[in-house]
Structure 1
Amino acid sequence: MAKKVASRKPAKPVLLSGGNPQIAKGDGDAPVQAYIAAMPDWKRGVGQQLDALITRTLPRVQKAVKWNSPFYGIAGHGYVISFHVFTRYVKVAFLQGAHMKPPPPGSSKDRNARYLDIHQGDVIDEKQFAAWVKQAAKLPGFLGPKG
């Protein structure tokens, strides 16, 4: 008698408030790609584009998922860019963006951080974005909590 094998569908990603994927923290490209794959709807394409632009601009970039967001950084220098899914947009954080020329348009409660909000249908200015990424890589990064 043939044994019936249950087919397992991949588990649906857990989406937190605003549709942000809940992905276990981890270092490397794999958790970042898992986060991007779990981004809902049109936001997944934005995540793919951001990841490709950052990786193309900084070929040695180090990636991680921390605090349910992908982070991009430079070895020994710290994280300089992250992004996060919200209900109506994807928010890109330049952790030292206030020190860039020109600074990204979104202000922050943190005097150093600046943001770029990407809404459905927005076209990312790849040249300007790459310039911000290059500048971010030269500024002090976030090394994480001490202790």
Structure 2
Amino acid sequence: MKKADAKEAKEASSPSQHIDARIKELGDWRGEMLARIRSIIKQADPEVVEEWKWRGVPVWEHDGIICTGETYKAVVKMTFARGAALDDPTDLFNSSLEGNTRRAIDFHQGDKIDEKALKALIREAVALNTSKRAARAQKRPKSA
């Protein structure tokens, strides 16, 4: 990370500004891919909340974590926090398949995103999060 980019990221006050700075800092296909993924997430769930966690990981939440957007040298990884509980009829998940909770999609340079299928997966993750929240709220005792 260049000093100017590091300073800009440090001065960024909101999670969205941190994500903007990260996309700009990457400056290659990974930044473009992360920006595209971000746009698809926002289209699929206009109420999504952006967070910046774990020392530099973009996180998208709606009643809990939907997914993260990690960038590596050869891949942009979109990890769904509760991916193992999601139906994936188009087989988007291609990474972290062995776990009991998470599932991920690794995007490589030149990969085309199946936007329709990805939006459906994001909406399903949101529905799972909101249903879990509603179930927890029903279990709480009512105050007298």
Q: TM-score range by the shorter chain?
A: 0.7 to 0.9
Name the one with the larger helix percent.
2
Aligned-residue Cα RMSD (Å) equals 2.5
Q: Contact between 1:63 and 1:72, CA under 8 Å: does it hold in 2?
A: yes
The equivalent of 1:122 in structure 2 is: 111
Q: Which residue of 2 aligns with 1:134?
A: 123
Aligned residues: 123
1:1-147 superposed matches below 5 A: 11-13=4-6, 27-67=14-54, 68-74=56-62, 77-102=63-88, 104-108=93-97, 110-140=99-129
Q: Which moved more, 1:47-56 or 1:34-43?
A: 34-43
> 1:78–1:27: structure 2 CA closer, same or farther, 3 Å change rule?
farther
3-state SS, counterpart of residue 129 of structure 2: coil
| Alignment partners' CA distance in 2, 1:37 and 1:43 | 10
Partners of 2:99 and 2:116 lie apart in 1 by 26
**TM-score normalised over the length of structure 2:** 0.75
Q: Counterparts of 2:101 and 2:87 in 1: how far apart (Å)?
A: 13
Letter of the 2:120 counterpart = A
On the 8 A contact 1:26/1:66 being kept in 2, the answer is no
Percent of paired sites with the same residue:
25
**How far 1:140 sits from its partner (Å)?**
3.3
Point out the more displaced range, 88-97 or 131-140: 131-140
Aligned to 2:4, the other structure's residue is in SS state coil
Partner of 2:137: none
Question: SS of 1:134's equivalent?
Answer: helix
Unpaired stretches in structure 2, ≥5 consecutive residues = 131-144
In structure 1, give the amino acid aligned to 2:59: F
